[in-house]
Amino acid sequence: MRILALCGLLLMTGWFGTVTAQEHGPAHGAIYGKLVDGQGGKPVEYASVALLRPADSTIVTGMLSKNNGDFNFENVTPGRYLIKVNFIGYTTVYKSVNLKGASQVDAGNIKLMANVKSLAAVEVVGEKPAYTMAIDKKVFNVDKNLSTVGGTAEDVLKQVPSVSVDIDGNVTVRNGSPTIFIDGRPSTLTLEQIPADAIASVEVVTNPSAKYDAEGMSGILNIVLKKNRKAGINGQVTAGASSLGGYNAGLDLNIRQERFNFFVTYNLRQRKSWANSHLFRKNIGDTTTFLDQFQDGDQTRRFQFGRMGVDWFLDNRNTISLSQSIVAGKFRNLNDQTLYDLDAGQQRVRYGAGIDNNGHDFRNYTTQLGYKRTFTKTGRELTADFNFNRANNEDQTDFSLQYYDMANEPVFDPKEPELRSGRGGGNTTYLTGQIDYVDPITETSKLEAGLRSTSRTFNNNITTLGQDFHTGQFVVDSALSNVYHYQEQINAAYVNYNGTIKDFGYQAGVRAEQSYYSGEMQSGKESSYKINYPINFFPSVFLSQKLKGDHELQINYSRRIRRPWFRDLLPNLDYSAQSANRGNPALRPEFTNSFELSYLKTFAEKHNVMVSVYYRNTNNAITDFYTDTTLNLNGQQQKVVLSYPVNAATRNAYGAEFTVRNQILPGWDITTNLNLAQTRVDADNVGANLNNSGFTWFGKINSNTKLPWNLLMQVIGNYESKQILPQGEEAAEYQVDLALKRDFLKNKALSVTLSLNDIFNQDRDLSFTNTAFAEQEKYRKRASRELRVNIAWRFGKMDMNLFKRKNNKGDQENNNEQREEGDRS
C-alpha cells in the first residue's frame, strides 16, 4: 500500500507542477511545433519551416528545424497563418493555425512523408553498428549479433564487451557484480528465461550518475526488449533448431496507426545439454584421505515467453503505454553420481552410487504502465511508470546414495544409505513505482529529479523427506526443510544538475536511498531477522572536456552499494554428496567508492578508441567463504565442505579498459575489448591469513565481415584469465564462436543464420580452494559446442490509412481546407 500511495502522490505532484509551471505568453504570441518522420517517428532536423499569410502567401518569418525537430516563432501578431514545411526527400506539407491574442499555439507533431517519386531510383540503407560507444554509456545492438540467434540472454551477455558470464550464469563487469535491469526496471526473470530474439540491445553503464540506482558495484546492465513502432503492419517470424536437440520459434507483430501502436511478441524455446562435474578433495586431519566424486547427467530448459502492449498517443505531448508479459517454463537437471573414498596412498577403498536430480517449474507475470508528458520547452518532460512483477515456482529434488566395497557388495559402515525427496515452491512479488522530471534551466544546463520506490516479497517452502535406514520409514529432514519469508523495501530520491561552458561539461548529483529488510525461517530451529538501514547518500560528479579533433576526456566519481540478494540471505541448506552451501542472514551491504578516467577519440568516423582507467575501493566486500563442518542429515553425521557468503574487510581493484572499434575495409569492422585489473581481497576479519591478491585480464574481439552473395560472417572470441578468490582461484578459460548469415529475396525479407558456438569446446569452470582442513579442485562442464540454424522472415505493410474511417467528415473537411490553402500559396 505504501508504494501505491507514493505513486499516486507522485502523479498528483507531477500534474500540479505541469499546471502551475506553464510559461506565460509573450507580448504578442508564439507558434511552435515539432517535425517528425511519418514512418519512423524520428525528429527531422534542418528542414525549412516558413510562416505564411494565407491571403497572399507572403512570408512572415522562417527558420530551420532544430536537431530534435522543434521549431518556434516568437512575437507573432495574432491572426490566421499557414505553416509551410519543405525538405528534400519529403513532400511539402501545409498546416493552418489560428493565433488568438497574446497566447501560444502548439502546431503539434507535423509528420513528413517520403516523396516516393523523387526517391524511386535511390536506395538509402542506414544500419546500426553492432557496438556504439559514448563517454558515459556503451550500447550493444543484439540484432547485429549472429551467434546468439535462437539463444538466451545469457548467450547475449557473453558477447557484450566488458561483460563476463560464468557457467552458472553469474555476470560480472570489470571483475565486479553489476545490477541487471530489464527495460530499466528490476525483474524476477533469470537470464535463462529471456530469449535472445526478444532483446533489442544491452546498455552498459560502468559508473552511473545519481539518476540511476546506486545498486551494483560495477555499474548497471540494462537489457532493452524489442518494441517496434513502425507505421502500418509489420513483423517477423523465426524458427530454428540445434545439434543438441533443441529448437526455437518466435513471432513479432506490430500494428501502428494514428494514435495507437500495438505490439505482440511470442517465443518458444527448448534447450538440451549434457553436463558433468568432477571434484577431487584432499582431507587433512589425523589421517589424510581423499575423495574422488563424479556427476554425469542431462539438462533440459523449456520455456515460453509472451509479451503484448499498446502505446496510446493522447496528443502530441502525452503518451500512455501499457504492456503485459507472461513467461512459463520447466527446467530439469538429472544426474547420476559416483563417489570414491581413497586412503592415504590414493587407493580406492569403497565407492558410492546414486542420483542427484532437481526440477524447477515457473510462471512469471510482468505488467508495466507508463506515462510521458513533453512540453513546449525543448527537452522538458515528465515521465511516470508503475511495474508489477509476480513469479510463482514449484521445486523438487531427489537424492540417493548407496556405498559398496570394491567387490561391488553393499556396505553400511561407516556411511549408511541415503534416500531423500524434497518438494516445495514459492512466489516472489516485485512492485516498482518511479517518476522523473527533466527541465532545461537554460540552453546549456539541465535539472533532473525523481523519486522511486521498490518493494519485494519472497515466500519459499520445501519439505524434504529422508528414509530412516533402520526403520524404513520416511521422516522430515529438518536440516534440508524450511518455510522462509523475506521482504524488502527501498525508497530513493535523486537530484542531478548538468551543464556546459563552451567545450567543458559538468554534472553533479546526489541520490538518497533508504532500505528495510526482514526475514523469517521456520524449520527445526526457527530464526528471524529485521534490518533497517538509515538513509544513505550516494553522490556522483562528472567532468568532461571536449578537445579539438573529436577528442573527449571525462573524469567521474560515484558511490555505489551492493545489498545482499535474498538468496545470499536465505539460510536454506543445499546439499550434494559431501559439499553444501547456504545463505547468511547476517550479511551486510558492501559500499564502493568508484573512480574512473575515460578518453574517447574518433578518427574519420571509421575508428573509435576509448580508454578507461578505474579504481574501486570496497568496504564490507561480499565474498564466498569455505569451511569444514559436520551436518546431521537423517540422523547421520556427515563431514562436508560448507560454503556461504561473508563480509570481507575490504576489496581493492584498479585497472584499465581499452575498447577499439575499427572499420578495416568497407564491409569489415572489428571491435576489440581488453580489461586489465589488479585485485586484492582482505578477509582477515573472517579468519587468519585470508588475504589474496593477483593480476587478472579479460579480452574480447568481435569481427563482422560482409561477403559476396549477401553473406555476413561474424567471429567472436573471448579469453578470461584466472580469477582471485580469498581462499583460492578460478582457472583461465576461452571461447570462440562463428556465425554466417545470408539474405534472400529481392527485399532481403528472408534470412538464414548458421552459427557454431564454442568451436573448441573450452567453456567450463575449474576452481581451486584451500581451507585449514582440505584442498579441493572442482571441474564442471556442460555442452557448449552447439550448431544452430535459424530462419527469419520479415514482413511489413506501411499503410497509413489502415484504420482511418472512410466517412470521417471532420478529417475530410480538414484535409480540404489544407488543400485549398495550399493551392492559394
Grid cell, residue 246, equals 533443441
At residue 669, the 3 state secondary structure works out as strand
For 496, residues 6+ apart whose C-beta sits below 8 A from its C-beta are 209, 210, 211, 447, 448, 449, 507, 508, 509, 540
What number is the average pLDDT over the span 79-95?
A: 86
- Of the candidates 593, 536, 531, the one whose C-alpha atom is nearest the C-alpha of residue 566 is 531
DSSP-derived pairing of the beta strands 445-467 and 482-501? antiparallel
Grid cell, residue 672, equals 576489440
Determine the pLDDT at residue 415. 83
Q: What is the pLDDT of residues 737-765, one digit of tens each?
A: 999 999 998 888 999 999 999 999 999 99
Q: What is the pLDDT of residues 696-726, one digit of tens each?
A: 999 999 999 999 988 999 999 999 998 877 7
pLDDT grade for 59, boundaries at 50, 70 and 90: confident
Classify residue 107 as left (phi > 0), alpha (psi -120 to 50) or beta: alpha
Fold of 28-113+801-824: Immunoglobulin-like (2.60.40)
Classify residue 478 as left (phi > 0), alpha (psi -120 to 50) or beta: alpha
Determine the pLDDT at residue 10. 36
pLDDT grade for 22, boundaries at 50, 70 and 90: very low
- Greater confidence (150 vs 232) lies with 150
Determine the pLDDT at residue 348. 96
At residue 7, the 3 state secondary structure works out as helix
Rounded Cα distance between 421 and 396, Å, is 8
* Side-chain half-sphere CA neighbours of 367 within 13 A: 6
Please report, for the chain, how many H helices and E strands are present, in that order.
Answer: 5, 45
Rounded Cα distance between 620 and 123, Å, is 58
Say which DSSP state 215 is in: B
What number is the average pLDDT over the span 276-280?
A: 95
What number is the average pLDDT over the span 551-561?
A: 92
Rg, the chain, Cα only: 30
Q: What is the pLDDT of residues 361-386, one digit of tens each?
A: 999 999 999 999 988 777 789 999 99
pLDDT at 234 over 80: yes
Determine the pLDDT at residue 542. 92
Identity of the amino acid at 252: D
Determine the pLDDT at residue 116. 54
3-state helix, strand and coil shares in percent for the chain, rounded to the nearest 5: 10, 65, 30
SS3 sequence of 546-564: EECCCEEEEEEEEEEEECC
Per the document, the length of the chain is 825
Q: What is the pLDDT of residues 787-799, one digit of tens each?
A: 999 999 998 865 4
Q: What is the pLDDT of residues 97-127, one digit of tens each?
A: 888 766 778 888 898 887 654 433 333 334 5
The reply to whether 28-113+801-824 and 131-225 are identical in fold is no
At residue 809, the 3 state secondary structure works out as helix
Rounded Cα distance between 774 and 632, Å, is 20
Determine the pLDDT at residue 392. 97
Handedness of CA 210, 211, 216, 222 (dihedral sign): negative
- Greater confidence (574 vs 344) lies with 344
Neighbours of 451 (CB within 10 A): 20
Determine the pLDDT at residue 249. 96
* Side-chain half-sphere CA neighbours of 555 within 13 A: 1
pLDDT at 774 over 50: yes
pLDDT grade for 691, boundaries at 50, 70 and 90: confident
What number is the average pLDDT over the span 274-297?
A: 92
Grid cell, residue 818, equals 489544407
Give 214: exposed, middle or buried? Use CB within 10 Å, 0-12, 13-18, 19+.
buried
Average pLDDT of the chain?
84
pLDDT at 267 over 70: yes
Identity of the amino acid at 245: G
pLDDT at 19 over 50: no
Torsion of CA 374, 376, 380, 386, to 10 degrees: -20
Identity of the amino acid at 747: N
pLDDT grade for 526, boundaries at 50, 70 and 90: low
Grid cell, residue 263, equals 505490439
Alpha-carbon distances, residue 605 vs 60, 139, 550, 609 (angstroms):
40, 17, 10, 11
Q: Does domain 131-225 have CATH number 2.170.130.10?
A: yes
Q: What is the pLDDT of residues 402-429, one digit of tens each?
A: 999 999 999 998 888 989 999 999 999 9
> Which of 7-21, 436-450, 674-688, 807-821: highest mean pLDDT?
436-450
pLDDT grade for 66, boundaries at 50, 70 and 90: confident
Rounded Cα distance between 57 and 8, Å, is 50
Lowest mean pLDDT of 417-421, 593-597, 623-627, name the range. Answer: 623-627
479, 466 contact by CB (below 8 A)? no
> Which of 24-28, 146-150, 152-156, 257-261: highest mean pLDDT?
152-156
Fold of 232-476+488-797: Maltoporin; Chain A (2.40.170)
Q: What percent of the chain has pLDDT over 90?
A: 44
Buried b (16+ CB within 10 A) or exposed e, 502-541: eeebebbbebebebebebebebeeeeeeebeeeebebebe
Rounded Cα distance between 784 and 257, Å, is 44
Lowest mean pLDDT of 282-296, 444-458, 519-533, name the range. Answer: 519-533
* Side-chain half-sphere CA neighbours of 534 within 13 A: 1
pLDDT at 338 over 90: yes
pLDDT at 129 over 70: no
Q: What is the pLDDT of residues 648-670, one digit of tens each?
A: 888 899 999 999 988 888 889 99
Buried b (16+ CB within 10 A) or exposed e, 252-266: bbbbbbeeebebebb
For 812, residues 6+ apart whose C-beta sits below 8 A from its C-beta are none
Grid cell, residue 462, equals 520445501
- Of the candidates 325, 320, 471, 481, the one whose C-alpha atom is nearest the C-alpha of residue 397 is 481
771, 626 contact by CB (below 8 A)? yes
pLDDT grade for 814, boundaries at 50, 70 and 90: very low
- Of the candidates 235, 220, 227, the one whose C-alpha atom is nearest the C-alpha of residue 199 is 227
657, 599 contact by CB (below 8 A)? no
Q: What is the pLDDT of residues 432-447, one digit of tens each?
A: 999 999 999 988 899 9
Determine the pLDDT at residue 139. 85
Rounded Cα distance between 659 and 134, Å, is 11
Phi/psi at 209 (5° precision): -80, 180
Is the pTM above the cut of 0.95? no
pLDDT grade for 523, boundaries at 50, 70 and 90: low
pLDDT at 625 over 80: yes
Q: What percent of the chain has pLDDT over 70?
A: 88
Determine the pLDDT at residue 822. 39
Rounded Cα distance between 341 and 327, Å, is 44
Identity of the amino acid at 39: Q
Rounded Cα distance between 617 and 650, Å, is 7
Q: Which helix (H) or strand (E) element contains residue 692? A: strand 691-707
Walk across the sheet containing 70-73 and list its strands.
70-73, 30-37, 104-112
Domain ranges of the chain: 28-113+801-824, 131-225, 232-476+488-797
Determine the pLDDT at residue 478. 79
Grid cell, residue 66, equals 532544430
Determine the pLDDT at residue 461. 92
- Greater confidence (632 vs 292) lies with 292
For 408, residues 6+ apart whose C-beta sits below 8 A from its C-beta are none
Lowest mean pLDDT of 54-68, 212-226, 371-385, 501-515, name the range. Answer: 54-68
781, 279 contact by CB (below 8 A)? no
- Greater confidence (561 vs 91) lies with 561
Rounded Cα distance between 633 and 420, Å, is 10
Residue 222, strand partner residues = 181, 203
